[in-house]
């Protein structure tokens, strides 16, 4: 949880007409879960992946009325 909070501090956000805190950069947080049956000492290990993603704003320019830096970010 500490890593996710640290990453959130450096995340880039900016206001658009559609969203007060629109993501300006992609954020991906991956959690890897490993589990096994406690009753089986040499049993198989099950691995699962949980991916949390916040993709940078891709709102339509005509709706956001983006200009300047916000417009450049949306076009790249």
User: pLDDT tens digits, residue range 8-67?
Assistant: 777 777 766 666 766 666 778 899 999 999 998 899 999 999 998 877 755 555 555 666
Domains identified in the chain, total number:
1
Residue closest to 47 by CA, chosen among 32, 69, 58, 66? 32
Q: Is 60 exceeded by the pLDDT of residue 76?
A: no
Domain that holds residue 48: 2-75
More confident site: 4 or 35: 35
């Amino acid at each position: 949880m500490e890593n996710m909070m640290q990453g959130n501090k450096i995340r880039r956000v900016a206001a658009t007409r559609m969203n007060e805190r629109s993501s300006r950069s992609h954020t991906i947080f991956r959690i890897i879960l490993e589990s096994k049956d406690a009753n089986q000492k040499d049993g198989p290990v099950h691995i699962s992946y949980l991916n949390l993603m916040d993709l940078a704003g891709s709102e339509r320019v005509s709706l956001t009325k983006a200009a300047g830096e916000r417009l450049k970010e949306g076009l790249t």
